[in-house]
Amino acid sequence: MSSSPTPDNSLNETSTTAKPPTHLILQMALRDVSVLFRTPWIIITRALSFIVQVFVFANLISGLIHIQGINYFEYYAVGSVVTTIASISFVIGYDIFEEAEEGVLDYLLTLPISRRQLIIGRALGGAMRAIVYTIPMFVIVAVFWGFSQPLPILTALLSLFLLAFGVTGMSITVAVSVKNANRFDVVLALLELAVSRASTALYPIGFIPVYVAVFAPFSPVSFAADSAYSSLVMLTLDLPAIAGLVAFVVIFLGLGATFYFRRLEGGVYA
């Protein structure tokens, strides 16, 4: 069954006064966010899983690994938040693929919203949903390690949001590029695994295989993890990592929009 919500009636209301673009984009984004609140048990179970992973697995592993200048327990906890938000951001691709198969996307195209606003709203909604999804885990990490300074916390959240925004663009690109359902599941699962695990979020560069270490520093998840760790732990701003995240967002949001428009023009999954 599709996880996509029933189209919001507010989007279909007719009015003699045109809605501003930002209002329509926000409505589309909130439509995607509402999916999460209809299934709150997903947040609860994921938060419990996160607690076990960090306070059991990471705690045990940190006793075996000693890295000069790094508290590995703390490093792993921050990285776990980053990899979690990357993984949940891919879900928007499944929603769009199912909407195309079930005809919901055709309905959305009849609403008084431009295609550009539609794609931005979907990407924004996916990013907002991922942020809301991971807030409980972020709070757990912040409280346990005493991260309380507002500016570092805001900078870390900005890095997480940029990562989520870029990953939703990537997921949308895949969703509108692959027609076969089985192939789509495999491609998106492999891409999620590569993006989340082929990074330095959970393991420092010196402790991962050479063939992964070649690409790991350029992963958007590595950029987000480096930026979040620098902000929260080192209290410094990692500008190269933030610049990398911004470039990632621009590239894949642009690609997602381009493929989305072409697929719509040619007939979705025809």
Q: Name residues whose C-beta falls within 8 Å of residue 139's C-beta, 6 or more positions apart in sequence.
A: none
The residue type at 169: G
HSE toward the beta carbon, residue 79, CA cutoff 13 A: 20
Q: Is the pLDDT of residue 267 over 60?
A: no
Model confidence at 193: pLDDT above 90: no
Per-residue model confidence (pLDDT) at position 96: 79
With respect to residue 5, please indicate whether it lies within any of the assigned structural domains.
no
Look up the pTM and report it. Answer: 0.82
Q: Does residue 104 or residue 225 have the better pLDDT?
A: 225
Give residue 13's pLDDT band: very low, low, confident or very high (50, 70, 90). Answer: very low
Asked if the structure places residue 62 within a domain, the reply is yes
What was the pLDDT predicted at 255?
76
65 lies in a domain? yes
For residue 222, the enclosing domain spans 19-266
pLDDT of residue 27: 78
Within-domain flag for 242? yes
Number of Cβ atoms within 10 Å of the Cβ of 120? 22
Question: Residue 270: is its pLDDT beyond 70?
Answer: no
Whether the pLDDT of residue 209 is over 60: the answer is yes
Strand locations in the chain (E): none
Average pLDDT over residues 111-120: 72
- Is 8 a member of any domain? no
Is 219 domain-assigned?
Answer: yes
CB 19 within 8 A of CB 112: yes
- How many domains in the chain? 1
Note whether 165 and 124 are within 8 A (CB). Answer: yes
Domain assignment present for 120: yes
Residue 260: the pLDDT is: 66
Q: How far apart are CA 210 and CA 184, in angstroms?
A: 29
Q: Quick check: 256 pLDDT over 90?
A: no
Q: Write the single-letter amino acid at 52.
A: V
Q: Is residue 158 part of a domain?
A: yes
Q: What is the structure's pLDDT at 265? A: 58
> pLDDT for 51-101, tens place per residue?
888 889 888 888 887 888 888 999 999 999 999 999 888 888 887 788 777
Give percent of the chain with pLDDT exceeding 70: 81
One-character DSSP codes across 212-258: HHTTGGG-HHHHHHHHHHIIIII----HHHHHHHHHHHHHHHHHHHH
